Structure 1
Amino acid sequence: MSHRKIIHVDMDAFYASVEQHDNPQLRGKAIAVGGGQYGVVAAASYEARKFGIRSAMPGRKALELCPHLIVVKPRFQRYKEISQQIREIFYEYTDLVEPLSLDEAYLDVTENKKDMESANEIAREIRQKIFDKTGLTASAGISVNKFLAKVASDYNKPNGQKTIHPSQIIDFMEKLPIEKFYGIGKVTANKMHEMHIFSGKDLKERSLEELIRFFGKSGNYYYNVVRGHHKSEVKPHRIQKSVGVEETYFENLLDEQAVFKQLKIISKDLEERLGRKDIKGKTLTLKIKYKDFSVYTRSKTQDVYYGDSENLFETAQNLWQLRPYDKPVRLLGLSLSNLNTQEKKQISVQLKLPFPDFE
């Protein structure tokens, strides 16, 4: 039987670790990237996590949990710069790399550029190279599919790795707490608890029909992954469906002049991003997140592709005028969809080879 060798690499507290690396005075301290009184935490250092602080937590709550928390302004350009360095390391081993975000990616190393048999050793080498080049630590999960690799990468964090060998899958999945299943959030986990489903073993005892009845299409996914079946391939050539730029502000924008100033900056950033990728789009969407965390979006589609930043900015201003109410703004974003990339076909070939030495 043939198996793929999939690695999931996940940087440890990426944004916060970058800040601690670049500023030695922050090392060993509880820090949050983003947040403050009116913002949302983008990342928390491991020292901050001990106080229960997590990403997406309102900054005010984070400060209540940890009054001595140090709040650091995000530097996304810096994070992107380091992320690119990390991806260059991935490509030393395989071209089958599927980035999920700046700080994590799947790699298919079934066949790799170094002709290494051991996926475990490849993961170890990659983590060491990341540390040597950036000074940052990464964790990794290794298994036969993306779901298992993703679950495994979270097992020995930070700065660790875990391999789930094909012979271990069934036992591992049966013992896995339902909250640890990738794709099962807090709401679904609570619903499963009400059904007395607390582990993979409990989930496995439920029929496909029963899971579909309670969880819809997701029931089919739960039925298969608990049995170690997850056929989604590593997709390095995803056809991009949208390109966007958004900014969260430490201080809320209180008037239209401030909003337009920021929209102009975002329009230029979006133009540059489109230019680098040779992408054009026909639908522009304005996203506004208010101080109370309510979100408003409005889009404009035109027959021809949007042109330069002035064209984007002018449309964004018009979309702004359509907003239903005036409230302090904490986030602005512009994104283009209906892209010319959808006119191109990109084919990814996934290799399936024997698995002689998984370890």
Structure 2
Amino acid sequence: MRGSASVLHLDLDAFFASVEQRDKPSLRGKPVVVGGTSGRGVVATASYEARAFGVHSAMSTREARARCPHAAFLSGRFDAYRETSRLVMGLLREVSPLVEPLSLDEAFVDLEVAAALGGLDIASVTAFGEELRRRVCEVTGGLTATVGIASSKFMAKVASELDKPDGLTVVAPGDELDLLRPMSVSVIPGVGPATRERLRRAGIHVVHDLEQVSEDELVRLLGKAQGHGLWRLARAQDDRPVVAEREAKSVSVEGTYDTDLTDRRLMEGLLTRQANQVGARLRRHGLSGRTVSIKVRLHDFTTLSRSSTLPSPTDNGATVGRVARSLLADLDTTGGVRLLGVGVSGLADWVQDDLFGEVENEREEVLVLPDAPRRTWSPGIDVMHEELGPGWVWGSGKGVVTVRFETASSGPGPVRSFPVDDPMLSRPAPVASDEGQEAATDPPAP
């Protein structure tokens, strides 16, 4: 355990929704929900204005609409999120060489090697945290971040949850247990609803209760790995280092669909498209993988998964697609499918180039099928009009797309409607960047 508060956890507040509010002046101060926009979609992020109505991440879009029908429901713009994340992660790496990104919107920073830090006393790290938050707001064009600083990764993460949004909490060494003891056991990583219920039945509700239980009893109750881990964290024991490069375990893409899919040819086409996206991501990061898996959620919410391991790693989307389609062939999908996903794990940094070369000539018409779901004008996406300039999709339907013309610096703009095939309306090319943290899994498709 460290003797100083030298681990910092930074969490960008309501990140996806905050980027949307930054870039869309008409949405500032209003409820915004980002994620799947259909009833079967899932909320990825909700702005704090939407959270006031009980909307939260992982909630179904259907329930979110019922709770906050006046919110703006947007499908998301990952290019904008990745670029903003790249700026923040770059800023963090300027202050310390040891930055461990956890996702696009959060990271650990080791302050023991931070060049700009005058010392590790509480006053110094507090001033550093305040200056870092100011610089994050500056570099992102107004986004806020909540920061926690403590003697371990666990306590820094706990601290960053205490003063949201736009806050800073520093936990002095020696104060960890006083902070933890009255908190619910769910504050400890790995204590989800099932584990929490098991602990509740044993009379364990808060961390102080957990601290009174022996390690052997916790192992009997929860199993060796989880029991030992909870016993340590209940005593604020966490010596995990900040690791600058976190090894990706898998790369995957999945989509949730408006209506149950029953056409096997359509499913195969969607899997092939997802496999090509996975292959592109693998190549972008110089990775390959041996194990191909698919995820299928049936009409009754039963979730099935199948996997197959190749003799050598590949980054070829056609190879991944071929295996994914063969895995689908073994499943009974006659009742309908509402979610499909493809993933590759067992990652490596080399490829057996010619092992599957014969699939390169595979016919490509299955990649885009005429009857595949189209999402050309998803709500929230950026668009460009040849005369009116940049804007974003307010909504679409019945052959019409409605656009609000505004940018982050323009102020709220006018709303205009066009035919969906208006030749003057187009989607701008995304900004290319090789930096930043790649999201391993896309949110559910609208």
After TM superposition, is the score higher than 0.5?
yes
| Residue 287 of structure 2: aligned partner | 279
| Residue 344 of structure 2: aligned partner | 336
Native 8 Å contact 2:19 2:143 kept in 1:
yes
**Which one is further off, 37-46 or 238-247?**
238-247
TM-score normalized by the length of structure 1: 0.86
RMSD of aligned alpha carbons: 2.5
TM superposition shift of 1:342: 9.8
| Residue 233 of structure 1: aligned partner | 241
Mark the CA change 1:325 to 1:246 in structure 2 (over 3 Å): closer, same or farther.
closer
Which residue identity lines up with residue 102 of structure 1 in the other structure?
L
1:55-204 alignment to 2 at 5 Å? 55-117=57-119, 118-134=124-140, 135-204=142-211
Native 8 Å contact 2:288 2:350 kept in 1:
no
Distance in 1 (alpha carbons) for counterparts of 2:40 and 2:334? 17
Mark the CA change 1:316 to 1:219 in structure 2 (over 3 Å): closer, same or farther.
closer
Distance in 2 (alpha carbons) for counterparts of 1:122 and 1:319? 52
TM-score normalized by the length of structure 2: 0.70
| Residue 348 of structure 1: aligned partner | none
Secondary structure at the residue paired with 2:294?
A: strand
Mark the CA change 1:179 to 1:312 in structure 2 (over 3 Å): closer, same or farther.
closer
Native 8 Å contact 1:90 1:97 kept in 2:
yes
**Partner residue of 1:54 out of 53, 56, 79:** 56
Mark the CA change 1:315 to 1:86 in structure 2 (over 3 Å): closer, same or farther.
same
Distance in 2 (alpha carbons) for counterparts of 1:292 and 1:49? 29
Deviations 1:171-206 (A, max 9, x none): 112232333333322333333333333332222222
Q: Verify: 1:326 aligned to 2:334, yes or no.
A: yes
TM superposition shift of 1:257: 4.4
TM superposition shift of 1:132: 0.9
Distance in 1 (alpha carbons) for counterparts of 2:73 and 2:335? 24
Secondary structure at the residue paired with 1:303?
A: strand
Distance in 1 (alpha carbons) for counterparts of 2:346 and 2:189? 30
| Residue 16 of structure 1: aligned partner | 17
Distance in 2 (alpha carbons) for counterparts of 1:106 and 1:342? 29
| Residue 349 of structure 1: aligned partner | none
Mark the CA change 1:342 to 1:2 in structure 2 (over 3 Å): closer, same or farther.
farther
Native 8 Å contact 1:178 1:189 kept in 2:
yes
Deviations 1:24-63 (A, max 9, x none): 2222222221243121111111111112211111222222
Which residue identity lines up with residue 77 of structure 1 in the other structure?
D
Mark the CA change 1:295 to 1:342 in structure 2 (over 3 Å): closer, same or farther.
farther
Distance in 1 (alpha carbons) for counterparts of 2:250 and 2:350? 10
| Residue 37 of structure 1: aligned partner | 39
Deviations 1:303-353 (A, max 9, x none): 23335322223333322322221354443322222232499xxxxxxxxxx
Native 8 Å contact 2:313 2:350 kept in 1:
no
Mark the CA change 1:260 to 1:75 in structure 2 (over 3 Å): closer, same or farther.
farther
Aligned residues: 343
Structure 1 or 2: larger helix share? 1
**Which one is further off, 131-140 or 215-224?**
215-224
Mark the CA change 1:99 to 1:249 in structure 2 (over 3 Å): closer, same or farther.
farther
Q: Percent identity?
A: 36
**Which one is further off, 29-38 or 326-335?**
326-335
Native 8 Å contact 1:244 1:270 kept in 2:
yes
Mark the CA change 1:74 to 1:256 in structure 2 (over 3 Å): closer, same or farther.
farther
Mark the CA change 1:21 to 1:256 in structure 2 (over 3 Å): closer, same or farther.
farther
Native 8 Å contact 2:97 2:113 kept in 1:
no
Which residue identity lines up with residue 186 of structure 1 in the other structure?
P
Q: Verify: 1:270 aligned to 2:278, yes or no.
A: yes
